[in-house]
Amino acid sequence: MRKITETVEKIKPIDARILKEAQCRLDNLTKPKGSLGRLEELAKKVVAITGRENPTLDRKVIFTMVGDHGVARQGVSAFPQEVTVQMIHNFLQGGAAINVLA
């Protein structure tokens, strides 16, 4: 419990100025503004949390959840049910877009 308390005490409020600067930097990259969607939001949060313009994340972890909820059987899915298994194999072989981020 002490470790949790110590960790929580280290959390500082996010500086709005840093968020604004991060957005400005993202907007000045060679790409359409906002084209990276949620990834841009995540990048701004990491910059604001670390307080560093170019933060490094040494211990990255990505949890990829896969599920087949029977929607394909109802005929409303864009893909047949077999695609779920194919996608899982692709994740495991490192061939999915998420593998690039990991």
What does the pLDDT look like over 5-62, one tens digit per residue?
Answer: 999 999 889 889 999 999 999 999 998 999 999 999 999 999 999 988 889 888 888 8
Q: Output helix, strand, coil percentages for the chain, rounded to the nearest 5.
A: 55, 0, 45
| Residue partners of 64: CB distance under 8 A and separation at least 6 | 91, 98
Domains present along the chain, CATH in parentheses: 2-50 (1.10.1610.10), 71-101 (no CATH)
- For residue 42, the model assigns a pLDDT of 92
Whether the pTM exceeds 0.85: the reply is no
